[in-house]
Amino acid sequence: MRLTILGGGGFRVPLVYRALLADRGKGRVTHVTLHDLDPRRLDAIVKVLREQAAGYDDAPAVDVTTDLDEAVTGADFVFSAIRVGGLAGRATDERVALELGVLGQETVGAGGIAYGLRTIPVAVDIARRIARLAPDAWVINFTNPAGMVTEAMAAHLGDRVIGICDSPVGLGRRAAQALGVDPGRAWFDYAGLNHLGWLRAIRVDGVDVLPRLLDDESALTSFEEGKLFGADWLRTLGSLPNEYLHYYYFNREAVAGARSAEKTRGAFLLDQQSRFYERMEAPGTPPFATWDATRLEREVTYMAENREAVDAGERNSCDLDSGGYEKVALALMRAIALDERTTLILNVRGRGALKPLDDEAVVETNCHVDANGARPIIGEPLAGHAVGLVTAVKAVERDVIRAATTGDRAAALRAFALHPLVDSVAVARRLFDGYLADLPGLDYLKEPRV
């Protein structure tokens, strides 16, 4: 089986390769093609993979290319994990928004809109090429903002593109463990959009144990989301929100935290990652150890500003292993390739599973997966407060997709202005102008010069 990774020089590729090496089952991936625009990044990552493969006589073969058409031709699966504009773009997304007093996070609020406007034209081009050159391939989208990028790609790939994120499965695992329940035995009733979902029930042998968790103060505050949101708010809400909802429920604190931080997350990662890729060029740098130390530092500092803003303390050691998204990706790939039936929380077109959204809207929810792909499972309806947010944010995503695919400036402005975390049309106008000035990837939205 052949797997192509777009963004193949990206920092998380060794996590995927580690999962592939650990997969001993039949029908496993035997060939990996890494595609990246930057050969330097490919070189660095290949050094890490080579060290990971040492000692395995059947490690998946790895080849690299900077030619996109060549990369996708012949692929059975394509992982798309690109970052349009690089981490410099992410830092700009954050800076422009924070200067105007609103959130610039890469997937939530104004930053997510800017990142979507920059990414969707590229993701759609990739989708078109795959539809033409590898029409039978399955595409697994990791590229953020994952929900809207998956929806834009689905216009060309239909249900052959599936978006993934590790945060719902991480939330479920942490909540189950806090109760002393084996996550493998639990059914997690999770639904929403990517980075905008709620865990509404944890069923073990048919019994919902979430109320027990909500009643148990010390268990509830023992894990990341409990610390971030606080036991009182979780009890009041009656469900466990995805950690990214911290940007909504504690927006002032999150914005203040981001503004007072020495560096934004994007600026920090820009420095950290640049140093990593530079070091990898120097002779004598031990590839795996260097990569792993960088990875651990990235995990330790993940969402640090949010945690500091509400005194949530440090992350638990079990959350520093980064065993999340590559496991979901591998499970999904095996289920499809080998018809191993399973259920996973994925980003797919909702087909009515999440009312009141329409059939084409990509949602994040439990899905049955087998050789026919992923089909959303109709769960409990969303609570009223969740319907409100999900509907508002989906409308914003649709405007971003419209702007990114047609150049419609009004749609772009609407996206900024109607996002629940942008509190004024005047601010939205300044956001749009600020991003147009500082992000070359948005030139297509500039007014034509006369």
> Would you tell me which residues interact with Mn ion (CB under 5 A)?
165
What is the length of the chain?
A: 450
User: Could you tell me the CA-to-CA distances from 335 to 27, 151, 331 in Å, in that order?
Assistant: 11, 22, 6
Q: Which is nearer to Mn ion, 244 or 416 (CB)?
A: 244
For residue 268, the minimal CB distance to ligand G6P (Å) is 9
Residue 165 engages ligand G6P in binding (rule: CB under 6 A): yes
Find out whether 100 and 335 touch, Cβ atoms under 8 Å: no
Residue 298 engages ligand G6P in binding (rule: CB under 6 A): yes
Q: Which is nearer to ligand G6P, 12 or 28 (CB)?
A: 12
Within residues 263-292, the interface with ligand G6P by CB under 6 A covers 265, 269
Residue 306 engages ligand G6P in binding (rule: CB under 6 A): no
Rg (Cα) of the chain, in Å, rounded? 21
For residue 279, the minimal CB distance to ligand G6P (Å) is 19
Q: What is the C-alpha separation between 362 and 157, in angstroms, rounded?
A: 13
Q: What is the C-alpha separation between 446 and 146, in angstroms, rounded?
A: 25
Q: Which is nearer to ligand G6P, 35 or 265 (CB)?
A: 265
For residue 58, the minimal CB distance to ligand G6P (Å) is 29
Q: Which is nearer to Mn ion, 105 or 290 (CB)?
A: 105
Chain Cα centroid distance, residue 190:
16
With b for 16 or more beta-carbon neighbours within 10 A and e for fewer, the 252-276 pattern comes to ebbbebbeebeebbbbbbbebbeeb
Q: Which is nearer to ligand G6P, 265 or 307 (CB)?
A: 265
Residue 144 engages ligand G6P in binding (rule: CB under 6 A): yes
Per DSSP, 286 falls in state -
Which one of ligand G6P, Mn ion, none is in contact with 327 (Cβ closer than 5 to 8 A by kind)? none
Q: What is the C-alpha separation between 53 and 61, in angstroms, rounded?
A: 9
For residue 244, the minimal CB distance to ligand G6P (Å) is 8
Which one of ligand G6P, Mn ion, none is in contact with 225 (Cβ closer than 5 to 8 A by kind)? none
194 in a known ligand binding site: no
35 in a known ligand binding site: no
Residue 361 engages ligand G6P in binding (rule: CB under 6 A): no
DSSP states along 87-144: HHHHHHHHHHHHHTTS---SSSHHHHHHHHHHHHHHHHHHHHHHHHH-TT-EEEE--S
Q: Which of 151, 166, 189, 397 binds ligand G6P (CB under 6 A)?
A: 166
- Among 333, 312, 120, residue whose Cα is nearest residue 233: 312
Which one of ligand G6P, Mn ion, none is in contact with 265 (Cβ closer than 5 to 8 A by kind)? ligand G6P
Find out whether 258 and 305 touch, Cβ atoms under 8 Å: yes
For ligand G6P (CB under 6 A), the number of binding residues is: 8
For residue 149, the minimal CB distance to ligand G6P (Å) is 11
- For residue 380, which phi and psi values (nearest 5 degrees)? -60, 145
For residue 230, the minimal CB distance to Mn ion (Å) is 23
Q: What is the C-alpha separation between 82 and 84, in angstroms, rounded?
A: 6
Place of tokens 């147009």: 436
Q: What is the C-alpha separation between 325 and 16, in angstroms, rounded?
A: 8
Q: Which residues are catalytic?
A: 166, 244
Q: Which is nearer to Mn ion, 173 or 414 (CB)?
A: 173
Closest residue to Mn ion using C-beta atoms: 165
Tokens representing 404? 């990114």
Within residues 231-270, the interface with ligand G6P by CB under 6 A covers 265, 269
Which one of Mn ion, ligand G6P, none is in contact with 298 (Cβ closer than 5 to 8 A by kind)? ligand G6P
Q: What is the C-alpha separation between 439 and 93, in angstroms, rounded?
A: 8
Question: ∠ at Cα 378 (377, 382), nearest 5°?
Answer: 125
Residue 167 engages ligand G6P in binding (rule: CB under 6 A): yes
Q: Which residues are annotated as a binding site for substrate?
A: 90, 144
Footprint of ligand G6P (CB under 6 A): 144, 165-167, 265, 269, 298, 302
- Binding region: 90, 144, 165, 195
Binding-site annotation: residue ranges for Mn(2+): 165, 195
